[in-house]
Structure 1
Amino acid sequence: MDETAAAGPPPRSSDAGFPAHQAARCGGLDELDAQVTRCRACPRLVDWREEVAATRRAAFRDWDYWAKPVPGFGPPDAALAVVGLAPAAHGGNRTGRMFTGDASGDFLFAALHEVGLASRPTATHRGDGLELYGVRVTAPVHCAPPENKPTPSERNTCRPWLAAELALLRPNLRVIVALGAFGWQALLPVLAEAGRTIPRPRPAFGHGAELVLPDADGREELRVLGSYHPSQRNTFTGRLTSAMLVELLTHAAELAGLAPGE
């Protein structure tokens, strides 16, 4: 009897072990993205994302909501990754693409476009022609959470997807920008498990915070930058301005060795 048979059948998409089982077996980002969209491991998030899709917002009553986990977006050879929080209920949960269709995404993609890392300043829907140059956009939690607040358990259940995504990007990845404290705090344990040396005490999040993480395998160092999340709360109050985000992304692109339009 082989080991797979002895271990029993693989977990169903509604089992908590589904992400850990499936993510590590993915041989490429296309396969990973397809598996992400099948996940139903967090009952609260599944119920919420589907309830939002059924009730909809008046402005989007004619939309057929995605209502599934939202995979990352960007090329498989990205040198720069942007890690947010989770899809928005009427943004990514509606459009099926990370940071697409909401105010936070509008702010982020406008900045990426100004730096030369996106083909257009707006992201409205899958198939709108938007391309990212050397950048992959993702999140620690792939389903829209109520009140934009995933629980620690939901974050941990979803963690294998992020770990696998960063592992697949690893040959070219040089810089990660963490948007917000949640992204920062979710990212560091993943990098530690992947063999990166995280300083102790664990560095605090802040806009402009920067870490240089050596690799135990002797590969190239990885830089991690912190940025305030482009939430409406931050952008409306001026805590995060367009100029601040453009400056930080420009620095990230330079560290990653990216040129505009590359």
Structure 2
Amino acid sequence: MQPGFSMECRQCGRLAGFLDEVKARYPDYHARPVPAFGDISPKLLIIGLAPGMHGANRTGRPFTGDFAGILLYRTLYKFGFANHEGSASPEDKLQLIQCRITNAVKCLPPENKPEPREIRQCNGYLAAEIADFMSGGGTALLALGTIAHQAGLLALGLKHRDYPFGHGAVHALSAGSTPSGLKANGLTLYDSYHCSRYNTQTRRLTTAMFEQVFAKIRSDLATHQKTGD
């Protein structure tokens, strides 16, 4: 579980109230803030948007049980970041290798649209995750979509205008100016369109496009390992 994170968090009144409503309708659902999942010493940290209603909000594990997870975990397996491609439930014995997955917002938002103040409120959790990630030698951040991209930059004290989002974009990050003194030197931010049902069905994001992003990440990580950077 990430530093400072609590599944009992209710700091965002709108989200907490909505989760109460969801829990009443679906008593068996997780319907709480969703913790990160994966290797405790990752080289790659993937940032998604927020839990899906019948995915992570139901299962309590990022991208598990929904359509977006199918492409994500299949791709992670193909590039050696997972022990298998299944993503149906937390009991499927899925393990991530050198990889960890989190979300910019830990709670299910109404209509899958978190408000800017909710993204900012939750950003402290993400900043703590990135700090922990860096202290363990992690170097690659992957943002799935614009909101995740912007949340990652916010956590590092960096400006959006200096690192514009674009599918397939690769950003070598420089030092930030967060109050905690967190510095982004040595981190690379990779961008991809989110692997949502809408994006894949409209062909805005194809399997080939998604795999190209992971091929670049895998290649860069191998280079870093060889050079000791």
TM-score bin (small chain)? 0.7 to 0.9
1:51 to 4, 9, 21: 21
Superposition RMSD in Å: 2.2
1:202 Cα deviation (Å)?
2.6
1:65 to 11, 16, 29: 29
Kindly tell me: are residues 31 and 145 of structure 1, through their superposed partners in 2, closer, same or farther at Cα, counting changes over 3 Å?
closer
Find the structure with the greater CA-based Rg: 1
Matched, 1:235 2:195: no
Shift in Å at residue 244 of structure 1? 1.1
Aligned to 1:252: 217
CA separation in 2, counterparts of 1:55 and 1:93?
13
Q: Quick check: 2:173–2:185 contact (8 Å CA) kept in 1? A: no
2:133 corresponds to which residue?
169
The structural deviation recorded for 1:248 is 0.6
3-state secondary structure, aligned to 1:36: coil
Which stretches in structure 2 are left out of the alignment for 5+ residues?
177-181
Q: What is the CA deviation profile of residues 82-136 of structure 1, one whole-angstrom value per residue up to 9, with x for unaligned ones?
A: 1010000111110000111100111111111111211111211223200001011
The correspondence for 1:211, drawn from 158, 162, 171, is 171
Q: Does 1:143 align with 2:107?
A: yes
Deviations 1:232-261 (A, max 9, x none): 1100011111111111112112222399xx
Q: Which secondary structure does the structure 1 equivalent of 2:188 belong to?
A: strand
8 Å Cα contact 2:167/2:192 also seen in 1: yes
TM-score of the aligned structures, taking structure 1 as reference length: 0.77
Question: How has the CA–CA distance of structure 1 residues 181 and 54 changed in structure 2, closer, same or farther, with 3 Å as cutoff?
Answer: same
Query: Is the 2:34–2:62 contact (alpha carbons within 8 Å) kept by the matching residues of 1?
Result: yes
Which 5+ residue runs of structure 1 have no aligned equivalent? Answer: 1-29, 57-62, 193-197
Query: Which residue among 135, 155, 158 is the counterpart of 1:190?
Result: 155
Q: Which amino acid aligns with 1:32?
A: P
Give the counterpart of 1:133 among 84, 97, 108: 97
- C-alpha distance in structure 2 between counterparts of 1:190 and 1:218, whole Å: 10
Alpha-carbon distance in 2 for matches of 1:208, 1:66: 33
Count the aligned residue pairs.
218
1:40 aligns with 2:40: no
Distance 2:160 2:42 in 1: 29
Among candidates 144, 155, 168, match of residue 179 of structure 1: 144
